[in-house]
Structure formats: structure tokens, C-alpha cells
Amino acid sequence: MRRVMFDSNAIDPIADTSGAFEALQAATEASRLEILYTHVTIDELVAIPDLDRRQHLTLLMVALGQLVPTGAAVLDFSRLDFCRLGADDEQDMLEELRSQNIRHSRDALIGITARTEGCALVTNDERLAKRAADIGVETLTTRALLDEVAE
């Protein structure tokens, strides 16, 4: 089974591509795909100003995936009931992912969770994809995942 961790920006193409939701849903129902997300993903989605878009993307994410705790914790970003306290090496990798910049903490939490869960990271953010690949996390775009599911 293919396991993937969704970054919040990975759900937009699902909403905007005809048949994408149905293809991913069929793959998850057939146990060919498991989609994971974190509270960070939901936090980012519910911050979308457009109410209709916010509701639509959040519902798609919840319908397709399973909530897992983040692979590490960051003060002021992590929700205590939805995170793990990372080991020292994970905290070091978290720092690599966020490039020593606190503004990248949410992305870093999603990336380190993909590593902790041993799955690929689905993101359309080139900076995060590069940083995640640098610590050994497989990355792919939403388009690449949809192409895989279609095969």
C-alpha cells in the first residue's frame, strides 16, 4: 500500500481537477493508498479566508485521509494532544526543514511527520520538497500522485 502525507497545498489540485477526488477515494477504498494529514494541515485549511473554499478543501481532506500526530513538537505551533515529542535527531531534522526560520515551522512539522510515518510527502511547495528530500523523505506533487493512482 502506498502511504502519503498531505501538505495543505496538495489538496487544492484535488478540488480543482475533475475526477481527482474520485480517483483518490477509489484508491483508498481499494487499500492501494493511505492518505495522512496532521492538525497543521487542518489549521492551514481552516485559515483560508474564503468560507466556501475553506469548507470544501477541509471536507475533501477529512474525507480522503486519516489524522495522525505530528512527528515532533514546536512551541506555539503544535497542539499537545496531536503531536509527538521528537527524538533529538528528529528535532535536528525539523530545524533543517524549517531552515532556521520560525515562519517555516508548519511546513517542517508536516515534513518531519512524513519521515516519522515512513511515507512520501505530497506537496506543491518546491522549497519544502527540496528540504524534505535533503533529509531522505520521498516527495511528489499532487499531479504525480494522481498519475500514480491512474496507473
- Residue 37: band (very low, low, confident or very high) from pLDDT cuts 50, 70, 90: very high
Tell me if 97 sits within 8 A of 108, measured CB to CB.
Answer: yes
Q: How far is CA 109 from CA 18, 32, 115, in A?
A: 30, 25, 10
9-18, 77-86, 105-114, 121-130: segment of lowest average pLDDT:
77-86
Tell me if 71 sits within 8 A of 113, measured CB to CB.
Answer: yes
Tens of pLDDT along 103-150? 767 888 889 889 989 999 999 999 899 989 988 999 999 999 999 998
Res. 75: pLDDT tops 60: no
Question: What does the chain come to in residues?
Answer: 151
- Residue 19: band (very low, low, confident or very high) from pLDDT cuts 50, 70, 90: very high
pTM of this prediction?
0.86
pLDDT at 34: 98
